[in-house]
Amino acid sequence: MKKDLLTNRDVVMHILKRDLKDIHNKKVLEIGPGRWDFAKNILEKNNCRWYGLEPLDFGEDNLTMIKGSVDDIPFHDSSFDIVLCNQSMEHWFEYNVSLKKALKEIHRVLKPESILMINAPIHNHGDPRFLMGELKKIRASFKKNMWNILLFEKAFPDKKVQGWKKIAANGFFSKLGYPDFLIPNPKDATTYTLDIHAQKKKKKNKKKKSQNRSIRNLIVILRFIKKYIRTRITYG
């Protein structure tokens, strides 16, 4: 398929095939899978245990598809090897969920040094940061003391978006107090998918850190005593 004919769905499928093909025998949580089971099928073929967290009620609440919100994930700390957000991160604000709070909750349920995988559309729809392509603001949502950014890249461009795009404040927009508004797009703007891999940082061992500090303090004291003894010997 030619690059200029790629649709957003084609790009997402390519990303998922690439990112998930080497994930085997892991416990995976997908945030907002909806009814699309493309990622689930890949992961289950790789002998992974898949769980879906979905804010909408599809009447499918069971042991693996659970109704809930990304800012209040109903799992214990350090439960998952992988958390996958497939075309869902840009929608969290529609449910009054901040990126900061959601990422903190995902961080909680991930095992240390495990991976959060995200793909999200830019210049397309959803959170204004994604509509405007504010990559610095999106990246800044991943706190340096919590995450290692392993991948932050643009996938294949989808289509040209030129001029101005009108966003109607119907539904949840009007409830949040937004008026109708226009979003400027440069002539060279293109919609594309942003692919992010972030690794949960391993917590530093506070006990070991405290022990190291004590050792350093002891060394300083011993050096002082040694210097004091030398001074006493020298000057009687």
Domain CATH code at residue 77: 3.40.50.150
Whole-Å CA distances, 97 to 109, 147, 164? 17, 20, 27
The pLDDT assigned to 205 comes to 67
The pLDDT assigned to 210 comes to 63
Q: Are residues 149 and 228 in the same domain?
A: no
Run of H or E including 120: strand 110-122
Q: Are residues 62 and 122 in the same domain?
A: yes
61-99 pLDDT, tens per residue? 567 899 999 999 999 999 999 999 999 999 999 999 999
Run of H or E including 44: helix 38-45
Q: What SS3 class is residue 231? A: helix
Length of the chain: 236
Q: Are residues 40 and 116 in the same domain?
A: yes
* Residues 6+ away with beta carbon under 8 Å from 128: 134, 183
Q: Are residues 181 and 108 in the same domain?
A: yes
Task: Return the structure tokens found at 194.
Answer: 């942003």
Would you give per-residue pLDDT tens digits along the chain (236 residues)?
Answer: 344 445 677 888 989 999 999 999 999 999 999 889 999 999 999 999 999 999 887 666 567 899 999 999 999 999 999 999 999 999 999 999 999 999 999 999 999 999 999 999 988 888 989 988 899 999 999 999 999 999 999 875 544 444 444 445 455 444 444 444 444 444 455 778 899 999 999 887 666 666 777 788 888 888 878 776 777 666 65
First to last CA, the chain: 90
Q: Are residues 163 and 214 in the same domain?
A: no
Q: How many domains does the chain have?
A: 2
Q: Are residues 86 and 171 in the same domain?
A: yes
Query: From CA 126, how far away is CA 55, in angstroms rounded?
Result: 16
Q: Are residues 213 and 111 in the same domain?
A: no
**Contact 108/139 with Cβ under 8 angstroms?**
no
- CA atoms 136, 138, 140, 142: torsion sign: negative
Q: Are residues 122 and 186 in the same domain?
A: yes
Q: Find the angle CA(88)-CA(89)-CA(93) to the nearest 5 degrees.
A: 105
Q: Are residues 199 and 134 in the same domain?
A: yes
Number of neighbouring beta carbons within 10 Å of residue 54: 20
The residue range of the domain holding 226 is 206-236
Q: Are residues 235 and 182 in the same domain?
A: no
Q: Are residues 161 and 146 in the same domain?
A: yes
- In sequence order, the β-bridge partners of residue 119 are 86, 195
Q: Are residues 165 and 145 in the same domain?
A: yes
